Amino acid sequence: MGVYLNSRKPHDNYQKTVDSTYFVDKSLLLDELIPIVELPSGIISFTETL
């Protein structure tokens, strides 16, 4: 079940998260990823380095 941001409390909680020191907005990555997903292979691999 999703949480909607169009009511006050969830919006305020989200805004607090966005305003925090370590919040990183990765939504701009979609501009890079969508064209790759639309390719015939459509494969993307993510790895995490420690």
pLDDT digits (tens, 9 = 90+) for 1-50: 566 667 788 889 889 999 999 998 888 888 888 888 888 887 888 787 76
Using alpha carbons, select from 17, 21, 24 the residue that is nearest to residue 3. Answer: 17
Q: How far apart (Å, rounded) are the C-alpha atoms in residues 32 and 39?
A: 12
pLDDT at 2: 63
pTM for the model stands at: 0.46
Cα-Cα-Cα-Cα torsion 33, 39, 45, 46, nearest 10 degrees, comes to 0
φ/ψ of residue 14, rounded to 5: -65, -45
- The encoded tokens of residue 41 equal 């292979």
